[in-house]
Structure 1
Amino acid sequence: MIADVIAVVLLLAIAAYSCAGGTDYGAGFWDLTAGGAKRGRRPRWLIDHAMAPVWEVNNVWLIFVLVIMWTGFPVMFQTVFAAMWLPLTLAAVGVLLRGAGFALRKPSRRLAGRRLYGAVFAVSSLLTPFFLGAAAGGVASGRIAPGTPAADDAWSNPTSLLFGLLAVAATAFLGGVFLAADARRFRADDLDGYFRRRALGALAAVAVLAVITLFVTHDDAPHVWHGLTHGVGLVFVVLAAVATLATAGLLLRTPGSWSRVTAVAVVASSVIAWGMAQRPYLIPTSLTVTEGAGASSTLHWLGIVTLVAVLLVFPAVALLYWLDTQGELEPLTDADLRRPGAGDQG
């Protein structure tokens, strides 16, 4: 029972990272496609201002996922990282390079340096979600099992490639929706329309890729296909479809903040549908939740740590997100620093 609870927590953490981290990756995608220095100046200005307050905290979810995997399900952790070390290593390198590129781009004084760091940030924002999605597709396809050696087929099969493309499209969609909302917050009406159109295009790509993936998994990942078309998995597929239609309608109509809620619902429902479709397996069809779970005492302590995180860490992260979306985390300007009393110590 406790193993099932921890497995659900792991799935929810993956969904949280897909939504929070995915939004940041999506911002990097639009940075990459913004065009040259002149044409892309304003979109990149918005991307820098929108990401600055929260881009580092989103990796909290990734750390939480890794901690749950290696402590709660060590056999799964060993199997996945041994069989697909290459895409996961590339994804980890992408996370590091992406953070370095974003952090160093703005303070760089030379144009060549800004371009270099900006390119590192943007390209890493494209490749990292692709490799993470490809690894998830390798798990879903059931091509790995305990003891499986590393092989290209584990992550370069049709299901993996489609999962990777879906991850890129989903992050671009989330990034477009949130950047459009940030454009309204900064009263940049031209960028609102700019990112809403791109969010709609990315949403269409997500819908098309999702349908193709469903057909491909019929033969390439039959267990997951059955789970997506029956039971709880189907319920979340339907929820994702409804949220997709709602988001499209909101993006086409009067601007509003609800599009962010429905966009998160699209991605979260899709991730949860995939997790529910794999039941009762961690890795179809070779490792069940019960077989892959760690010691009972470890799982109980992990449950306590998770409860502490729910009570202490998650509210703080939620507050940070709320403050950011309300525009309360704007950086100080020169005018702020010159106000009387700004330098007083008490």
Structure 2
Amino acid sequence: MMSYELIGITVLWIFLYGYLIVASIDFGAGFFAFYAKATKKDHIINQLISRYLSPVWEVTNVFFVFFFVGLVGFFPDMAYYFGQSLLIPGSIAIVLIAIRGSFYAFESYGSKDNLVYMFFYGATGLLIPASLSTALTISEGGFIEETETGVHLLSGELLTSPYSWSVVFLAIVSVLYISSMFLTYYADRAGDQPALDLVRKYALFWSSPTIIASLTTFIALSQQNPEHYQRAIDLWWVFGISVAFFMVAVFLVYQGKNYGWAFIAVMFQFLVAFFGYGASHLPYLLNPYVTLSSGVTNETMAIALIVVFIAGLLLLIPSLVLLMRMFLFDADYVKGKK
């Protein structure tokens, strides 16, 4: 029988996975919108991107908020260690999110044609996941130290670590890969052939860096945290399944058919890899300071949080399905007729 702390971290990991997919589509779309404008191709895909972003951008951070609040609630020690060590990278991420959010306000007043605004919009789409990935890097250990004055981030080690930069690279290319795969499906559903031809090239282009970045991160992990690396190797079959889904997705896009199934394969690719990474990371949440059993709150509080967050998940998922049916997958809306 699963312990309540394992159930808790599983529920939180589901929320973080949801944020990974939804935010990646949003962040990557912003970059592609800027890139298209910079290369004079904005007339091909930017209307398509705008139709996706308009109803979705406001709910993107719901998954992240649930995860952050739940993490602090389930594992209070994480607030102590991450609260101090992530002060600088966390502040940078908040500023970037604020800049990105302000773009939508400027867009409402007709500034979306301004290349400077588009640059900040596109740049934040890559810098936000890069800054947020710092938390996963720090969790491997070796980047913070606890002294009498508190917890301190070892900035020098973080900035010179090959593992740290490999995670940043993986975060960026994964965003572009997931987003381009979704936009390929979205363009096909809209019947927009010029946009489909363009974003399909993006999807195929960013598929190779994604698998290369994944392998590079594994190699760097073997140097940064050999114990975690060995646990990941023991779960080789999980990551093998992820690679199989990757090959299916790329093959379907290359063949130019079944783009919906291709994106579903992408979702399963990251689902399997994400939970494989999480499982191999256990029992540590923050190596070596916080483990799954040592950092958990009391049983009564944990059970209450599990009930609340499962209820939230059961409410959030149908809400997103309804949103997609009303806007994203409505035939007239997708084709720009309403």
Calculate the TM-score normalised by the size of structure 2: 0.90
Hey, what does 1:340 align to over in structure 2? none
CA distance in 1, matches of 2:26, 2:187: 15
Q: Among 91, 94, 98, which residue is 1:92 paired with?
A: 94
Unmatched segments (≥5 aa) in structure 2: none
Hey, what does 1:182 align to over in structure 2? 186
* Distance of aligned partners of 1:300 and 1:150 in 2 relative to their CA distance in 1, 3 Å threshold: same
* Distance of aligned partners of 1:199 and 1:109 in 2 relative to their CA distance in 1, 3 Å threshold: closer
* Distance of aligned partners of 1:266 and 1:155 in 2 relative to their CA distance in 1, 3 Å threshold: farther
Q: Among 274, 277, 281, which residue is 1:274 paired with?
A: 277
Hey, what does 1:343 align to over in structure 2? none
* Distance of aligned partners of 1:227 and 1:191 in 2 relative to their CA distance in 1, 3 Å threshold: same
1:284 is the counterpart of 2:287: yes
Q: Among 298, 305, 309, which residue is 1:302 paired with?
A: 305
Hey, what does 2:203 align to over in structure 1? 199
User: 166-175 or 98-107: which moved more?
Assistant: 98-107
Contact 2:190 2:335 in 1 (8 A): no
Contact 1:105 1:115 in 2 (8 A): no
1:60-139 counterparts in 2 under 5 A?
A: 60-108=62-110, 111=113, 114-139=114-139
Q: Among 321, 324, 333, which residue is 1:321 paired with?
A: 324
Cα deviation, residue 150, structure 1: 2.5
Hey, what does 1:148 align to over in structure 2? 151
CA distance in 2, matches of 1:185, 1:331: 7
1:46 is the counterpart of 2:59: no
Cα deviation, residue 321, structure 1: 3.0
Q: Which amino acid is 1:326 matched to?
A: F
Q: Which amino acid is 2:189 matched to?
A: R
* Distance of aligned partners of 1:323 and 1:117 in 2 relative to their CA distance in 1, 3 Å threshold: same
CA distance in 2, matches of 1:324, 1:266: 26
* Distance of aligned partners of 1:163 and 1:187 in 2 relative to their CA distance in 1, 3 Å threshold: same
1:155-174 counterparts in 2 under 5 A?
A: 155-156=158-159, 157-174=161-178
Query: CA deviation digits over 1:183-212, x for unaligned, max 9?
Result: 122221111121111111111101001111
CA distance in 1, matches of 2:112, 2:268: 41
User: 31-40 or 300-309: which moved more?
Assistant: 31-40
Calculate the TM-score normalised by the size of structure 1: 0.88
CA distance in 2, matches of 1:274, 1:87: 22
CA distance in 1, matches of 2:334, 2:196: 21
CA distance in 1, matches of 2:232, 2:100: 33
Q: Which amino acid is 2:243 matched to?
A: A
- The sequence identity of aligned pairs, in percent, is 20
Aligned residues: 331
Query: CA deviation digits over 1:47-92, x for unaligned, max 9?
Result: 1112111121121101111111111111112212311221121112
Unmatched segments (≥5 aa) in structure 1: 337-346
Query: CA deviation digits over 1:119-139, x for unaligned, max 9?
Result: 221111110011112321221
CA distance in 2, matches of 1:80, 1:165: 22
Contact 1:224 1:274 in 2 (8 A): no
Q: Among 212, 218, 225, which residue is 1:208 paired with?
A: 212
Contact 1:282 1:289 in 2 (8 A): yes
Contact 1:169 1:206 in 2 (8 A): yes
User: 73-82 or 323-332: which moved more?
Assistant: 323-332
Cα deviation, residue 282, structure 1: 0.7
Hey, what does 1:15 align to over in structure 2? 17
CA distance in 2, matches of 1:292, 1:329: 50
- Two-structure CA RMSD over aligned residues (Å): 2.3
CA distance in 1, matches of 2:256, 2:112: 41
Q: Which amino acid is 2:306 matched to?
A: G
Hey, what does 1:29 align to over in structure 2? 31
Query: CA deviation digits over 1:256-310, x for unaligned, max 9?
Result: 2111101112222222222111111111233211111112222111012013213
Secondary structure, counterpart of 1:213 in structure 2: helix
